[in-house]
A and B are shown apart, each in its own frame.
Chain A
Amino acid sequence: MAERFVTRGFVGRRNTAEDRERIPPGQYLTTDFPVLSAGPTPHTPLTDWTFALGGLVRQPVIWTWDQFLALPSQDFNVDISCVTKWTKLDTRWHGVSLDILLEHVDLDTRAQFAIAFSDGGYTTNLPIPDLVNGQAFIAWQYDGGPLPPPHGGPARLVVPHLYFWKSAKWVRGIRLVEQDQRGFWEGLGYHNRGDPWKEQRYDGD
């Protein structure tokens, strides 16, 4: 729209200057932790749980739950933004960086994209550069306790610089591929990359 429309009578809330720096456009601050999932919450026993890193690698790696928790892990304090418009600041997680996981495989030079896959059939796609250099991790703790199943426990991918649907709940592995393949929401009209600072909510944004 060339001239900005103004809604009659709307003033709205103002975030503090400090928060404005951290809240992407079109988002509002919440202190809750809303739950959004497309189906029932899966409950995979930890004895059956594995995490697989495969696809275009020389030798795929599969970790059991105990092996996964024995990887070098760390705390993460990140701001998260959901495409449904809420942003939550200073969320506290504990888990393993994707950089650590990727050190365990020899990546084929053709590998460009990652497909995260989850219990329940959910998938999401990301360019590999969005997963490395401390930008992404697999978390099994939230706010000092085990990650609750409605929030993606036992373990979820967290990619805080992208809309939160990219942070696949109940994640069971990552497949590295040459050609990009749209995941669950990406195939239903949501943006392929989902950068909240560019408001990449839906296709074409």
Chain B
Amino acid sequence: MWLVSAAAQAAVSSSKEIADLSLEELSGIEVTSVSRRAEPLSAAPASIYVITSDAIRRAGVSSLPEALRLAPNLQVARIDATQYAISARGFNNAIGNKLLVLIDGRTVYAPFFSGVLWDQQDVMLGDVERIEVISGPGATLWGANAVNGVINIITRSSSDTQGLLAVAGGGNRERGLSLRYGTALGDSGSVRFYAKTTNARHTDNAADTAVADGTERHQLGFRADWNHDADDFTLQGDTYRTRAQYRGRFGTFELTPITSSGSNVLGRWTHRLDSNADLRVQVYFDHSERDDALLYRPRTDLGDAEFQHGLTLENHRLVWGAGYRRAQDHIAPGLFFGFVPPSRTLTWTNLFVQDDVKLASGLDLTLGLKFERNDYTGTETLPNLRLAWQPAAGQLLWGAISRAVRAPARLDRELRLPPAGPPYIIAGGPDFVSEVANVFELGYRAQPTPDWSYSATAFLHDWQGLRSGQPPPNAQVQNMIDGRTHGVEAWASWQALPTWRLSAGLSTLKKNLKLQAGSTDPDGPANLGDDPDYQWSLRSAFTPAEGHEFDVSLRRVAALPKDAVPAYTAVDARYGWRITPSIELSLVGQNLFGKEHAEFGSAPARSEIDRSIALWLRFTL
């Protein structure tokens, strides 16, 4: 049934729970014939792609950024052994700031630049339930910075991850070992613990010189869930540590290894008031630190509390809520950059309401409004209007108009190069305000037969006040670039045979950005990310026999303009063999046929990604 959306699939009960139903109850359950192994299509009026846990396993990936390559509406560029530039709809760079990333409801971007340090983020991939990738603004719900997209990483409830899972293996590029154990906790609860350690080998640059980016990483965590009648409670936490290689000297300056560490703990309580209303409260604390002698050494403590109330009134579904977030950081200078002042406490508060109105059968209107206050620009208004029409079962036509803002971060206002000034070569702009996007989207998706589905979205972002610079010295960050970006995101999936699924994805992007009159920025829009005009991918998932899986993927990424990176094609493959129900062996090859290629950065110092071969053993008990 088409109404079965990604969210409804999220509402799918666990197998264990279904087994508790009576025969009569089973015969009354509505089911979706969209296979769990398929990309779950959704009735959401947004460009949403869902990466399933099965797709992650069959891709043979061992890190979160590599798993994100499965989403056709994301651009994933590997910078070196562990660092990535990831964006949706362009503006991609190592300090990309227009994408919001959540792991089980916890925002993982660093508040000092509103971006994600991907080498600090990881999860136990075997416990991931799904990753929802929403390209386009999610500002009304998620707030400022969800301008170009939201990545929502959702792990399984601990009740669904009982027993032992061990994954071990490695190859010429990396080695890894992860363990998870889940058990019951009294009558109504469950808990799991996990530990993961990985070791990534260094890359080489174009001159075949070793780059000092080999990194080892250790992470521990837990998640516990309880259900009591109308109440559910989740408590989870993680702690991690990373250490890269010694980097030698930069002149007389000693470059110590890049290290990072962090810990977080999150509690979430949901309570059902009656059949039509529920409450949700979530609180978390997150500590992180990073030591990069070249760039800077941030140390951040943040707390976040959110409240939400949802209720259904006839044909309205109303949700409102509020949130408070406070980040206290200290950023010690590196060789290149410092922050003035080095320590700062910032707070954000928000209030939102959204109404989903059923106008007629098959016609849904969503109106949302969020007010978010930050310490730099005061209150930002983030409205959102979406219309969804289902002309027939299996078809959805939708359109959306949204206003999204990327609020200033410390980097925009308080960065200094070099840290020892004044005078400075470059400094944050005291007058820097929010970058604003008015976004128009139109999408269509259909599932004409159970075996065949597709989705296409066209988007236009109208930008005002994007970040610009000035000629050094004494250059200040300004808001003097305007323009438009537009493009298409499309994907399709075809179950050619019961044992063979083919899927394809495409995204295109055109950027027409210009400096405002009066700007003296010498580089102009080139500093706003380095994006390919297009990328496409093909995937084949074949099951030659029960217990055997053979997966191949091909992706093509067009050239990046500045810094110039040539277009590349990469072929990845995996063969998996389930020797017994509890033991699976898989051989994974990445970048199999091309020569090594760069994905981001400036030659000749940038890392090149070469062929990798790895053997993995997965054991469950």
* A and B assemble together: no
Chain B residues within 8 Å of A, Cβ to Cβ: none
